[in-house]
Chain A
């Protein structure tokens, strides 16, 4: 069975602080994709990143960076110099590539991030 765990339910930081959101996953598929999505108060899920299981290079996009470690089954997301506009619920998700799992996104319960001015 596939599973995604986001242990942090809520995080509150002050603007300009760095914050890391944790994601741990379980899958028996040998090939899979990992994702992060943002759900702002407006409610619409926004795609942030897709990572292949065979590509463990870290990725940086502006103030966002992602650390994928296959050895610990983790795919953590760091926001540097957080801003109030970063306040949202962030979801980590997994999609295995085996037949029964194909295109089926398995989601963590999300981490609610509040960035206070």
Chain B
């Protein structure tokens, strides 16, 4: 069974540009989560999508946004990039119901570098 996949692996952008990151969940999973892993700040929750709706959001500005498509894949968009947005962005997925729906399985991440 394929795991969570993310693309691209690396992304280099300049300040002020927009970045789009993509994630495909494990087959059968309907929830997708996004996290930022920045040096010195650890892992921070960004967004949770389920059934195409945003269900929960972390303490990030509105320029961090995303969406979930009917096939449950997801996109994270970061507008007006700032240098401090440089980080590893991790996507995770989980099943929809039951206690195991709290178990999040992670992809390999997208390394975003803002210059």
Contacts and interface: CB of A to CB of B under 8 A. Distances in A.
B88 interface: yes
Contacts of A107: 42-44
Given A44-B109, A50-B102, A102 B55 contact: yes
Interface residues of B, number: 25
B57 to A, nearest CB: 9
B45 A105 contact: yes
B14 interface: no
B48 A44 contact: no
Given A103-B56, A104-B56, 10 more contacts: A33-B102, A45-B90, A50-B99, A91-B43, A95-B102, A100-B56, A103-B55, A105-B45, A107-B42, A107-B43
Nearest to A101: B56
Interface of B: 31, 33, 35, 42-45, 48, 55-56, 58, 88, 90, 92, 94, 99-100, 102-109
A19 interface: no
Instruction: State the main secondary structure of chain B at its contact with A.
Output: strand
Contacts of B43: 91, 93, 105, 107
Interface of A: 33, 35, 37, 42-47, 50, 52, 91, 93, 95, 100, 102-110
A42 B3 CA distance: 15
Most chain A C-beta atoms within 10 Å of own C-beta, residue among B33, B94, B99, B104: B104
A55 to B, nearest CB: 10
Contact of A47 (B48, B58, B105): B105
